[in-house]
Structure 1
Amino acid sequence: YCMAACTLLYAATAPLLNRFPAAAGLISCLVLFAATYTLPHTTYPVEGLAWLGFPSASFVSGDYYPLLPNVFLYLAGAFAARWFDGHHASGYPMWMMNANVPFLSMIGKLSLPIYLVHQPLLILIFTMVSSM
């Protein structure tokens, strides 16, 4: 949910965000992320706003990534990408372009099978370890 919501918000506000200098936007978003980081670690006396970052005392989740503060981290990434794009011809720092790590290349080519296998494998391992 959070990634999709952040992408939708970015797409809707991109014309406005593109008016800001990339470095200023990056720094601003990092400061806002730090300033709002503790919001979802507190409980609030209102129901139904956990998705935004204001969980109630009755809210429970094992996988909780609210919009606040995570939207600011997402936008910081967008500003950083624009900043890199303005500083490097390819959009990436040169050290990223020159890296040739065969092991990482192999993992990249097998990312879908690794993704599909890792969760059931971890569940099996943790089930076996916890039953000992």
Structure 2
Amino acid sequence: MKTPLLAALLLAAPLQAETIHPERAFVLNCHFTQSCISGGCGEEDYNVTLETRGAEATFRDHRAKIALAGGFDPVSGQMSFASQPSDGSSYFFSDFGASGAVLSIHTQSEGQALVIAFEGRCEEVQ
């Protein structure tokens, strides 16, 4: 009984995301049009740039330049990057191609955990 169950679990396990080839480099310009914080959402006009080289990326907006690391799922086309915690904040970014992009900033305010989530789209700079 254990063997069929184990086999089923192994077959159902998600595939590991591939590491992005170290020589693959590109730039994404992202425009986020909606943000949500503390249960409320609203319109947004937030632009960021993601400069990638392999599994490393640099996130830039009008205030910050943050190093990220991540991977790429060739089956779905999803690419995701995350920052190391710094100054009480962490950044998580996923681009789903034509389906859009998501950015979440995990931080704290007045001693309370806070997540700011953004939805939008990214385009590769040619």
Structure with the bigger percentage of strand: 2
Q: What TM-score does the superposition give when structure 2 sets the normalisation length?
A: 0.19
Q: What TM-score does the superposition give when structure 1 sets the normalisation length?
A: 0.18
Larger Rg: 1
